[in-house]
Structure 1
């Protein structure tokens, strides 16, 4: 098999396995959220959501080294330079251990000071402190495991990484439901989260060795020059990562500190839908990054541009399809899923966030391409702009318009950064005409979602869903129509055939070799 065909097959398999993992994650979260909301109550669930959101910022302590590890492991593996692969892996692991140790006093300080700033009437300071310590310990112990997660991503073993993620999340969700059913609170939930995380990290080490048999975890591979290279890449990566984290989680944090934990619940219901569904785009983007790094190392520039256009069209279709589902079915979904009393406040937020979802999803592939080709200064600059705009607009609109202002702050930021500046800058960086990007990337993707829109509006008008089963049927058929649109509009014949032969369903064709 040629290198080009092998890369295409690995990329397609990676996307398929990632989608399986993301869909499973979404379904688990879909079942878990109403159980926690009803079991904990609005205030306790709001505190839990806020603290879980804050843990995402702890991830910045790795200084972007996971992305650096993926980039350089995939780059050196493409040229079979196993000595440098081992240098990257062991040096990453050493730096992760150092950064994890530095995070311990930060967690302690946050646990001591932050509870005083939460307006929680029925959740004690001691409980909040203990949850912060436990979730902080989860992150600290998980940081070294990112070196092994980088191995799985760089070697494109998304089957292993997603199997582990689904098993871990399913186990954690079952235990959380059991805790709430037994009358436990957020402290017991944090203990469960820590336990499952430790077991997952041990499993990840074993899987990394399976994925990369050439790996040798010896201190002789610890290299100062490689550490400098990784940190330089990682610092720029983490700067742009700040912008992504702020855009994804600043809403919950700002709402919590400005309006209080109860309002967090209303906002987080809408945000959880768009955030979890946006994970589907990561199933594509996590594959694009190592493949882009491989193409860049092999100077396959035409293949890189072709991958960008195909990835953008698929992501645009995915974002548009998800937005259509949430806007057309969102009010019914919230009513049947969480409760009718949440619809009036949450549904308008969901509609605005859905429009933002289209913009961010369509442009997510561009970030992966830039990261894989080491355009980190550009990404870092965009990340800073994104963070500043989201925070400034969020504070201003929350104080001026209340809870309804936050989703508009996110939408305006994403339109400017992800919808205008990022596409223009990326096309210029890789010498791709912006007109070609729109004509062969954005427009085919949006066109692929039109049949789905026509079906869903007609179906809900003539057969409105009255329960979750009907809702799932409507949404499922709509997504199948979207998938067909993507398959026949966004992909060329050779790629379409490769996708069909990668799906283990015998009825798709007799000759599948």
Structure 2
């Protein structure tokens, strides 16, 4: 029953990311065309700066998700109310502080720190100042979105996420077609974030009809802050590192180079982050299982989830890496393909390596050990930023991609070796044999065959489409035959027959 519930929540969480990601991929070329390459580079810079200010978030969300799931598993509604109240107050304060900082620093950042062309500086300053209240709304929205997820109702948070994830990119294109500019796009997103938060608050009211805001006692505050303090290290490091490449490129290489890098890196990130959405449901589930002592079930579910998530991510990586140039050429244009094909392939591989830490990190934190993931994340970010600065300084945006991959390989291996058998109750050998090997072996063979076939067939659009189609078919067959567990195949087949019988009546 737990595995079925996890699967449903994972699918809801996946769709909440996949559908907006698809819309984003369709609309990015239109946004780039509407803003111009330099203008899109400034837009990327603005979003990176706003994202960087989120490092002041002490990550009460992590502690809140853990303790809401734990208290709900123990039917303690008062503790749930105290946790939600503390989270709302914390993120309101964080949003006000960060938004004020963005507004005050806008001119200095645009005029002094980054290589923004003179003609775009006025728009960039206005966009940053407009984004300041958006930071407050974004922080509140992020916290409110986590509450249904802590209650294992990803279906409800996912529906809201899909609606806004589809409407906002489409509305952005509409604004640009009507003659709007960068400031208008930012204003649209600020308003959308505010409305998104209000709808989430009403959703929480339906899930927790007896919720009454109440300030938590000293013990509850201490527990939340202790857990969140260590999780903050992980969030701080992740956010710092996630935006460091764009900020360093913006300072050293200019906004046009930033546009080329951002498009390729965003494609790799958005597509491969779908695998993280499959695994994200594991944090509240681990917290609930650990609270009730069901460690054997946790081990079994963790290995099976790893088997599926690793295969999905590896399949996506293979498609992006083998067909990087035609994907960028079709999606954007030949110029972006020339500058970004290698970046897309290397960044996809880097994202895949990083993704191997997602599930073990969630289990580690759900078991109550955020200190471990926090310290690893900080070390990884510090070393990674040194690598990024050296890579960008020496080889430009291609150097940034290779620096990401080097950091991912170093720290993913170290993290996996350390946590398994210590803070994650599963031996690493068991995970490698039953979680990694079934998917990776087949994906590797299919990738080699597809790469060779693409070269032999030629580079016409029809040849590429046939190669991609054959590769996808082989990956699906391998997944169905060698990755999906026999009990899950039997369950799926049983449900399919039941549905056919009911449909035939």
TM-score with structure 2 length normalisation?
0.92
Match status 1:32 vs 2:27: yes
Match status 1:150 vs 2:146: yes
What CA distance in whole angstroms lies between the structure 1 residues aligned with 2:492 and 2:133? 41
Question: Where does the alignment leave 5 or more consecutive residues of structure 2 unmatched?
Answer: none
Q: 1:158-201 deviations in whole A, cap 9, x for unaligned?
A: 11212111111211111110111122211010011011111111
- C-alpha RMSD of matched pairs (Å): 2.5
Match status 1:99 vs 2:98: no
Match status 1:228 vs 2:226: no
What CA distance in whole angstroms lies between the structure 2 residues aligned with 1:367 and 1:453? 28
Quick one: structure 1 residues 92 and 397, their matched pair in 2 at CA, closer, same or farther if it must change by over 3 Å? same
- Tell me how far 1:292 sits from its aligned partner: 0.8
Q: 1:381-415 deviations in whole A, cap 9, x for unaligned?
A: 11111110111011112112222211111111110
- Tell me how far 1:278 sits from its aligned partner: 2.1
What CA distance in whole angstroms lies between the structure 1 residues aligned with 2:368 and 2:361? 10
Match of 1:212 in 2: 208
- Tell me how far 1:49 sits from its aligned partner: 0.9
- Tell me how far 1:455 sits from its aligned partner: 6.8
**C-alpha contact 2:275 2:309 (8 A) present in aligned 1:** yes
Match of 1:493 in 2: 486
Quick one: structure 1 residues 147 and 332, their matched pair in 2 at CA, closer, same or farther if it must change by over 3 Å? closer
Match status 1:400 vs 2:394: yes
1:127-146 pair list within 5 angstroms: 127-146=123-142
What CA distance in whole angstroms lies between the structure 1 residues aligned with 2:350 and 2:315? 13
| Residue in structure 2 matching 1:262, options 253, 256, 262 | 256
Quick one: structure 1 residues 410 and 268, their matched pair in 2 at CA, closer, same or farther if it must change by over 3 Å? same
Match of 2:430 in 1: 436
Match of 1:288 in 2: 282
TM-score with structure 1 length normalisation?
0.91
Match status 1:383 vs 2:369: no
Quick one: structure 1 residues 473 and 372, their matched pair in 2 at CA, closer, same or farther if it must change by over 3 Å? farther
What SS does the aligned partner of 2:140 have? Answer: coil
| Residue in structure 2 matching 1:43, options 38, 43, 49 | 38
Match status 1:164 vs 2:160: yes
| Residue in structure 1 matching 2:17, options 13, 22, 30 | 22
Match of 2:475 in 1: 482
What SS does the aligned partner of 1:119 have? Answer: coil
- Tell me how far 1:298 sits from its aligned partner: 1.1
- Tell me how far 1:105 sits from its aligned partner: 2.8
- Tell me how far 1:254 sits from its aligned partner: 1.4
| Residue in structure 2 matching 1:75, options 70, 79, 82 | 70
Question: Where does the alignment leave 5 or more consecutive residues of structure 1 unmatched?
Answer: none
- Tell me how far 1:288 sits from its aligned partner: 0.8
Quick one: structure 1 residues 208 and 475, their matched pair in 2 at CA, closer, same or farther if it must change by over 3 Å? farther
What CA distance in whole angstroms lies between the structure 1 residues aligned with 2:3 and 2:220? 30
| Residue in structure 2 matching 1:120, options 116, 119, 144 | 116
Match of 2:56 in 1: 61
**C-alpha contact 1:312 1:445 (8 A) present in aligned 2:** no
Comparing 168-177 with 105-114, greater Cα deviation is found at 105-114
